Amino acid sequence: EYKFVVTARDGAPDQRLATATVTVKVIDAEDEVPVFHQSSYEARVKENVPDYMVIQVV
């Protein structure tokens, strides 16, 4: 089980933000733990993207 925090910010001068904790459960990953090449990832997304669009793959 892996947990990480996602923070979303808007670009307004009086910037608003929201955070959420995401839990990922890896089931039978062939006995190999996930490897991340960076300690932090950042993505910029326009506010009118379609639902269920893939934003970033890590």
pLDDT tens digit string along 6-55? 998 888 899 999 999 998 887 776 777 778 889 888 888 888 889 888 88
pTM score of the predicted model: 0.56
Q: For residue 22, give Cα distances in angstroms to 7, 13, 26, 28, 31.
A: 11, 28, 13, 19, 22
Element (H, E) at 9: strand 2-9
Other beta carbons less than 10 A from residue 4's beta carbon: 13
Q: Residue 13: what residue type?
A: P
Looking up tokens 């990832």 gives: 41
